[in-house]
Amino acid sequence: MSGETLNDLFLAGLKEMYYIENELFDALDELATEVDHGDLQNAFEEHRSETKDHVDRLESVFDHIGVAAEQKQLYALDGLIEDHDEFTDENPEQEVLNLFDKAAAEKSEHLEIAAYGNLAFMADKLGHDEAADLLEENLREEENALDELKSISEQYDVESVPTQS
């Protein structure tokens, strides 16, 4: 990427989101089987289904702008996944693992929301109206997923979580 134009920046960000959504599709399946909190498990399963829709919409965006769908690695996401793997290797208590996974999911939602917001803005500025609409649809679903995770936080019984080792 030369990074000289708005279009260059848009394409790089689009490729990163395609990478993120494909990686999260697999990660959400792992999270859903890892937690034992019913609402959290359902949220992960539901968002995994939405993530497949996000991948499909991103492929449509690539089609609309006449570029082949391609992934670009995003180290920020890789870091979140590495942190998760390192934490689970320590065999935490189940309740602590549930909270860790919920927090990790919220972090990834914030990443996706920021990226989709910027991509929709750039698509609009570049005159890619249909692409902007698709990206905004993904953005709204990411915002709803974050709201759902926050709602689960409010319902979560932290009294059952160990406070000291």
Q: Over the stretch 111-155, which tens digit does the pLDDT of each residue have?
A: 999 999 999 999 999 999 999 999 999 999 999 999 999 999 777
> What is the structure's pLDDT at 156?
67
Tokens representing residue 38 in the block: 């019913």
Burial class (CB in 10 A: 0-12, 13-18, 19+), 159: exposed
CATH topology of domain 6-155: Ferritin (1.20.1260)
Provide the residue type at 2 as one letter: S
Cα–Cα distance for residue pair 120/19, rounded to 1 Å: 17
Let me know how many helices (H) and strands (E) the chain has, helices first.
5, 0
> What is the structure's pLDDT at 91?
81
> What is the structure's pLDDT at 154?
78
> What is the structure's pLDDT at 163?
61
Residue 160 predicted with pLDDT over 70: no
Q: At what angle do helices 94-125 and 6-34 cross, to 10 degrees?
A: 160
Which tens digits make up the pLDDT trace of 67-112?
999 999 999 999 999 999 999 999 889 989 999 999 999 999 999 9
> What is the structure's pLDDT at 92?
86
**39 to 31, 64, 104, 120, 148: CA distances (angstroms):** 12, 37, 16, 30, 9
Contact 81, 27 (CB under 8 A): yes
Taking the alpha carbons at both ends of the chain, their separation in whole angstroms is 48
Instruction: Indicate the domain borders of the chain.
Output: 6-155
Which tens digits make up the pLDDT trace of 44-66?
999 999 999 999 999 999 999 99
